[in-house]
């Protein structure tokens, strides 16, 4: 679903819903290419830190509260 794709950004590997063969292909590719997994893991860590860290959440919350006070 789009929400899941948003969270994985460009770091995750999506597969067609309900398509076990497609999922098998994706998992086999990742098992055969651990360098892809390592690269994607680094991308995911960067994305999560930039968008979902406590610092980011606090900053966004503070900005929201400040905008409501105006």
pLDDT of residue 59: 92
pLDDT of residue 19: 94
- Per-residue pLDDT, averaged over 4-30, amounts to 87
pLDDT of residue 1: 67
User: What would the pLDDT profile of 27-59 be if each residue is shown by its tens digit?
Assistant: 999 999 999 999 999 988 888 888 888 988 899
pTM, to two decimals = 0.62
CA angle 39, 40, 42 (to 5 degrees): 70
């Amino acid at each position: 679903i789009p929400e899941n794709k948003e969270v994985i950004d460009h770091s995750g590997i999506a597969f067609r819903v309900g398509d076990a063969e497609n999922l098998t292909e994706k998992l086999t590719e990742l098992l055969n290419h651990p360098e892809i997994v390592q690269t994607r893991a680094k991308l995911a860590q960067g994305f999560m830190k930039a968008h979902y860290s406590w610092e980011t959440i606090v900053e966004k919350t503070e900005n929201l509260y400040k905008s409501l006070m105006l």
